[in-house]
Structure 1
Amino acid sequence: MGKCFSSHPVALPMGPMGVRLYVHDQYVEIDNGILVLKLSKPEGIVTGVQYNGVDNLMEILNKEDNRGYWDLVWSEPGGPGIFDVIKGTDFTVIVEDENQVEVSFTRRWDLSLKGTLVPLNIDKRFIVLRGSSGFYTYAIYEHFEGWPDFNMAETRVAFKLRKDKFHYMAMAENRQKIMPMPDDRLAGRCQQLAYPEAVLLTNPINTDLKGEVDDKYQYSCENKDNKVHGWISLEPPIGFWQITPSDEFRTGGPMKQNLTSHVGPTTLAMFVSAHYSGDDLVPKFRNGEHWKKVFGPVFMYLNSTWGEADPHILWDDANLQMKTEVESWPYAFALSEDYAKTERRGSVSGRLLVRDRYIDDEDLYASSAYIGLALPGEVGSWQRECKGYQFWTKAEANGFFSINNIHTGDYNLYAWVPGFIGDYMYGSTITIMPVGSIIDLGDLVYEPPRAGPTLWEIGYPDRSAAEFYVPDPNPNYVNRIFLNHPDRFRQYGLWERYADLYPDSDLVYVIGDSDHKKDWFFAQVTRRNEQNSYSPTTWQIKFKLQSVLQTGAYILRVAIASATLSEMQVRFNDPEADPPHFSTGLIGRDNSIARHGIHGLYWLYSVAVQSSWLIEGENTVFLTQARSSSPFQGIMYDYIRLEEPPDCTFRKVILP
């Protein structure tokens, strides 16, 4: 476990010795002959990692409690956020033998600490195995019945590496680069941009980076893809990698975006965060409820190469190790009784079909559907669920799915299918018993929202705005890694490009003539005025009707991929209609536009369109984003569709 078995020329340990534990007055050291992990006692802060002849991979210029640590951000209801580096007060050896050492650092809460510490008992664990080129960490959080209410906006594990060695960051096959130094973000070396995380490098230490934008949110990643990331030291060639073998303890489901690695050099294991979601994904503990959750284990993997070997192969090796860790989940060696082993986990399988008689007379396979278990709730509630465990898989081409290693407990089964709007939820609660349960649900049928045939549509329903027009960045604000890159939306300042493309009037989209890939801007943002203020924007969708049916309501379906302090107002053929024919009211706090995410939380609206709002001939839908106090307010659309009334014979829209 954790040992490298790569065909690449990666350095391997020589004859791994047994694991040894050394307990000192203020420190604990765990040595397995490959690495030495040094932890403060009883705080449980990673103060040092010795590996491959380097006495410490952690940033030795930082204070010891700012090197490798668990932290959280919490608040009392209505109070300000408090950043807390979690420091244990008691140290315990869980197991010590030649094959494994596991140690515990606990911090317990009582009423005397009310208002000063988050009301949680926290048990941080660290594990080193024989022959393993790395170490594991996990933690158990528990809030007891009757304890004070609180919110937890974030919790994670952070590692600050040596800035004199770790300069190359890798977090995906096509997202790797030499990074700026942390000093490059100081006055005199950079220009502050529109928000604190983003800077323009004006005088970087590495002159090759001059003129680039640096922003940690450009390196965010969806949970489903966030399995391994880290840093490479080129001299000597060493890799430091954070591997997350399971998403079950993360919040928000497979599409939730989280930070990975960024300038520091820093690497993160994010478990709970409000990034790309806002307050909806902040767990709120009320009425003295009992809650317990295990976060992790995650694996900090170390590797190295020989001599002149290309150090970039360390990324390939880390990916191989990630696959080993994923296949080994759940781990057999983590010893907390709260960490569920294989025998206490179950599985759920079945086949998901899609029934839409306006597309096909037969049920369709839910190919590539995302199917998961989360705490019982409402349809679609999984994306805002943030207290329990979630277990997700992707259906095969024929709709079959199998979800494995599910914790004991009660769940709803949720799903969504690329190509179709809305959310599916299985009608009954699913219970996984303590001895494990094997449940086959057979064929399940999802009937997505549909009232009548499609008159017209814009985009592709996949909960993302990626298929729309993403402009080239301002050449003065470029991160070169994203030039000619599939994730071109991660460039800084794209919100400002809208006014460049539409300086005098807003976007007009003509059904049958316009192309959503070229003519639909990826985000409906505000317009900056000369007075440094901002104005709402109104987009138009033009389409023609031969006649207007009076037999029922037309339905406008609007699926939104992201919303930030926005209000979508819809009007038909009257841009001044007051009140508008439909309004969402104020929605969203995901900040995805500013943070270079192509989606945040998903919203679906179905607007009943009265026939009196439509006319024979040319019609116009006016979409107004009405809130405009900031450049970052806006909406990213996922998909828009107009349906005819259900009792009509299908008639295509007249094309211009």
Structure 2
Amino acid sequence: MESGDVVLSIFDSHVVLDNGIVMVTLSKPGGCVTDIQYGGIINLMETLNLESHRGYWDLNWNEPGGPLQSDLIQGREFSVVVETPDQVEVSFVRNWDSVSSPPTDIPLNIDIRYILLRGSSGFYAYAIYQRPSGFPDCDLVQTRMVFRLSKDKFQYMAIADDKQRVMAIEDDRSPGRCQKLAYPEAVLLTNPINPALKGQVDDKYQYSLDNKDGGVHGWISFDPMVGFWIIFPSHEFRNGGPTKQNLTLHAGPICLAMFHSGHYIGDNSCKFRNGEAWMKVLGPFYVHLNSSSEFVDPFLLWNDAKQQRLYEEQSWPYYFPASPNFLKKEERCSISGRFLVDDRFISTQIFPADSAYIGLAAPGEAGSWQKESKGYQFWTKTDQNGYFQIVNINAGEYNIYGWVPNVVGDYKNEIALQLSPGSSTDLGDLIYKPPRNGPTLWEIGIADRTALEFNVPDPIPKFINSLYINHPEKFRQYGLWERYADLYPENDLVYTVGISDYTKDWFFAHVTRKRNDGTYQGTTWQIKFQINTLIQIGFYTLFISIASPTRSILQVRCNDPKVEPPHFETPLIGQDNSVARHGIHGFYQLFMMQINPYWLVHGNNTLFLTQRVNTGPFNGILYDYIRLEEPDVPY
């Protein structure tokens, strides 16, 4: 053995991987991370926890129509996959069996793997989830890997350049140290161990990130100076595409590698029916460790972690995972092309889709990629001329999906692509013709699939998270839904086209109002506008682009607030919970309403928008953009 060799040691109940920089101990045959030694810390994990609750994989699932179940995954068979001086890969397998498996086990075969490389300041983890044909029906609701770090060491978190702070620990959320708020995840710290945190809100949803904006997050210990980071080299194996918001970390200290959840998009369970066969590789992701021999600005460790993320991204797909189910570079394929927009009311010429998102996901309806979870997704952004290239795609069948800034709706190619290993496909020009029926009479907001441009109010003073004071993401503050009743205590919002300013006069969330008796009432917003020349031929068209709905029914009435039935009504839409979870967007939807000119008048008109579901404070709609179009008729 030479210095720096990767050494594997196997004991009765543990397996140890050691490369001289980091030493990782795993339970055997369970496959949980019980001990990480690095940078002078004997164990980065929380030793007060059971070994099975330090670094572990878990999931939530249910039988069709049955209750939700939790499944902490424990391997039953251990094996060595690779053992060389340069690399060790170990496997912990739990196969499902109708006779011997306990009822809490999801009907999946699960193979959890860890890899340690020579010279690496960290380790890799991934899992292979597989259903042979004929397994029982079930719904996979959520799955992740969880790291519970030493609470005595790791109390400073970082998820972005401007999102770093000292955090509460799990003890601060216990009775006597906090006040429970509107849902279990949120508490007001009343007697925290760190007195500097007194009077602040702790809520894990305040640290969510879009897949497209994440890639690295973690914790820092100040004594000694050590960083623990989760790095995603790719998001192809995570559900919901680039705009899916995922949890990153929270008080504990806990660090999460989220692969699949319904947060911010509602029910997107992997529903397996009729013995469907399925397989997916989750990861690998990288656990990066860094340190300094003396106390330094924590931003230096954060910057190092960001640089490591770039290295991991450039190294993707990795060459070293031993599973044949993880496709190597030579087994993958690529596409290229140009994305264009054809909207003659924006431009007389077809124009490039500048900075548009375009990607591949499983065949489905336009926009279905937002909830797609069984397969892989591959996305990129176009350049200013609309050109794009997507590389390292797993072979298979896909639709092409996309959306364009300042343009409503979702693009989808009509014919699914069959991509073979090693292929390179030039798609030529892809032309998106967005929904459009006539020239714009007026519009509110920006078609960017978020409510960020609207009036996000200042937080309630007693419910502050200091991280988001004077921060561009002030929507992350707790309790903003209550500010609507503060600003509109009796009469609802009224917006006058041409006079009102949507950045100040359009509340970011169409929510309920709490009554004095503790119940809630639906609210009706008004849009007032003028029609100087009423066109009697054809229909006016109202486009309502929704950034996120939560258990809502939207009704629209023209000039008569009491007409029944309403001129337009959606079904019950949305399980996003984006308002409660401090997200400015969720599952995007676009609704189009034809307006009969007989409902309108020459001169002053009013649209009444009613969100009528009033079961609680979190029923509501985040609007993205609203546009009224005139009929397209020659004058």
1:487 equivalent in structure 2: 473
Quote how far apart the aligned CAs of 1:430 are.
Answer: 1.3
Instruction: Please tell me whether the aligned partners of residues 238 and 302 of structure 1 are also in contact (alpha carbons under 8 angstroms).
Output: yes
The whole-number CA distance in structure 2 between the counterparts of 1:622 and 1:521 is 15
2:221 corresponding residue in structure 1: 233
Alignment of 1:19-34 (within 5 A): 19-34=6-21
Report SS of the residue matched to 2:632: coil
Q: Which runs of 5+ in 1 are unaligned?
A: 1-14, 650-656
User: Conserved in 2, the CA contact under 8 Å of 1:60 and 1:162?
Assistant: yes
Residue 442 of structure 1 is matched in structure 2 by 428
**Pair 1:500-2:504 in alignment:** no
Residue of structure 2 equivalent to 1:190: 178
Aligned 8 A contact 1:172 1:229 in 2: yes
State the secondary structure of the residue aligned to 1:489.
helix
Q: What corresponds to 1:463 in structure 2? A: 449
**CA–CA distance in 1 between the matches of 2:72 and 2:122?**
23
> How far 1:16 moved relative to its partner?
5.8
TM-score (norm 2): 0.99
2:597 corresponds, among 607, 611, 627, to: 611
> Which residue is equivalent to 1:417?
404
Which residue number corresponds to residue 637 of structure 1? 623
Which runs of no fewer than 5 residues in structure 2 stay unpaired? none
User: Are 1:338 and 2:333 matched, yes or no?
Assistant: no
The 8 Å contact of residues 547 and 615 in structure 1, kept in 2 or not, is answered as no
Report the Cα distance in structure 2 between the residues aligned to 1:443 and 1:517, rounded to whole angstroms: 36
Aligned length: 633
Give CA-to-partner distance per residue, 1:185-225, whole Å, 9 cap, x none: 11111110111000111111111111110100000000111
Q: Distance in 1 between matches of 2:30 and 2:103?
A: 20
AA aligned opposite 1:41 = K
Taking only the aligned residue pairs, the percentage that are identical comes to 59
Deviations for 1:106-136, whole angstroms, at most 9, x for unmatched residues?
A: 0001221374410000000000000000000
Q: Which moved more, 1:108-117 or 1:551-560?
A: 108-117
**Shift in Å at residue 302 of structure 1?**
0.4
Q: 1:147 aligns with which of 124, 135, 139?
A: 135
Identify which of 292, 298, 308 aligns with 2:295: 308
Give the alignment of 1:254-333 within 5 angstroms. Answer: 254-279=242-267, 281-333=268-320
Partner of 1:475: 461
User: Which amino acid counterpart does residue 608 of structure 2 have in structure 1?
Assistant: F
8 A contact 2:222–2:295 mirrored in 1: no
1:8 paired residue number: none
Change (3 A) 1:430 1:563: same
1:383 CA drift (Å): 1.0
- Are the counterparts in 2 of residues 491 and 596 from structure 1 also a CA contact under 8 Å? yes
Specify the alignment match of 2:85 in structure 1: 98
Partner of 2:125: 137
The answer for the alignment partner of 1:599 in structure 2 is: 585
Quick one: distance in 1 between partners of 2:259 and 2:378?
Answer: 14
Q: How far is the alpha carbon of 1:143 from its aligned partner?
A: 1.0
Whether contact under 8 Å (2:145, 2:258) holds in the other structure is yes
Cα distance in 2 for partners of 1:205, 1:486 equals: 29
SS at match of 1:495: helix
Q: Is the Cα–Cα contact under 8 Å of residues 278 and 589 in structure 1 kept in the other structure?
A: yes
Q: Counterparts of 2:3 and 2:478 in 1: how far apart (Å)?
A: 47
Per-residue CA deviations over 1:491-515 (Å, capped at 9, x if unaligned) read: 0000000000011100000000000
Cα separation, 1, equivalents of 2:37 and 2:535: 75
CA contact (8 A) 1:238 1:311 kept: no
Q: Is the 8 A contact 1:16 1:34 kept in 2?
A: no
Contact kept, 8 Å, 1:149 with 1:287, in 2: the verdict is yes
Report the Cα offset of residue 648 of structure 1. 3.9
Letter of the 1:168 counterpart: Y
Structure 2 residue 25 is matched with structure 1 residue 43: no
In the other structure, the counterpart of 2:188 is 200
Secondary structure, aligned partner of 1:316: helix
CA distance in 1, matches of 2:295, 2:581: 38
| One-letter amino acid of the structure 1 residue matched with residue 93 of structure 2 | T
Aligned to 1:516: 502
User: Which residue of the other structure, out of 316, 330, 338, is the alignment partner of 1:351?
Assistant: 338
Give the Cα–Cα distance (whole angstroms) in 2 for the partners of residues 645 and 313 of structure 1: 58
1:452 maps to which of 422, 425, 438: 438
- Distance in 2 between residues matched to 1:16 and 1:139, nearest whole Å: 30
Q: Is the 8 A contact 2:40 2:224 kept in 1?
A: no
1:77 & 1:266 partners in 2: Cα distance?
31
Instruction: Give the aligned residue type for 1:246.
Output: S
Q: Secondary structure at the match of 1:241?
A: strand
What's the counterpart of residue 6 of structure 1?
Answer: none
Correspondent of 2:155 among 155, 164, 167: 167
Contact 1:305–1:311 (CA<8 Å) still a contact in 2?
no
Q: Which has the higher mean CA deviation after the structures are superposed, 295-304 or 142-151?
A: 142-151
Q: Name the counterpart of 1:123.
A: 111
> Aligned pair 1:430/2:417, yes or no?
yes
**Paired letter, 2:49:** N
Q: How far 1:381 sits from its partner (Å)?
A: 1.3
| Residue in structure 2 matched with residue 390 of structure 1 by the alignment | 377
Partner of 1:582: 568
CA distance in 2, matches of 1:176, 1:593: 23
Other-structure match for 1:12: none
Output the amino acid matched with 1:271.
F
The alpha-carbon deviation at position 364 of structure 1 amounts to 1.4
Instruction: Give me the whole-angstrom Cα distance separating, in 2, the residues matched to 1:111 and 1:625.
Output: 47
Q: Distance in 2 between matches of 1:308 and 1:266?
A: 23
Letter in 1 for 2:545: A
Partners of 1:643 and 1:190 lie apart in 2 by: 51
Give the partner amino acid of 2:16: E
SS at match of 1:340: coil
Letter in 1 for 2:506: W
**Structure 2: how far apart are the matches of 1:79 and 1:648?**
58
The AA in structure 2 aligned to 1:179 is: M
Distance 1:645 1:216 in 2: 47
Partner secondary structure for residue 184 of structure 1: helix
State how far apart, in whole Å, the 2-side matches of 1:26 and 1:71 are.
Answer: 20
Asked if the contact 1:559–1:605 (Cα under 8 Å) also holds between the matched residues in 2, the reply is yes
2:348 equivalent to 1:361: yes
Tell me which residue corresponds to 2:512.
526
Secondary structure of the structure 1 residue equivalent to 2:15: strand
SS in 2 for 1:540: strand
Deviation of 1:536 (Å): 0.3
- Aligned partners of 1:244, 1:278: CA distance in 2, in Å? 23
Per the alignment, in what secondary structure is the counterpart of residue 312 of structure 1?
helix
What is the alpha-carbon distance in structure 2 between the residues aligned to residue 252 and residue 309 of structure 1? Answer: 38
Q: Distance in 1 between matches of 2:333 and 2:3?
A: 35
- Partners in 1 of 2:104 and 2:46 — Cα distance? 29
**Counterpart for residue 67 of structure 2:** 80
Partner AA of 1:272 in structure 2: H
415-424 or 309-318, larger mean C-alpha shift = 309-318
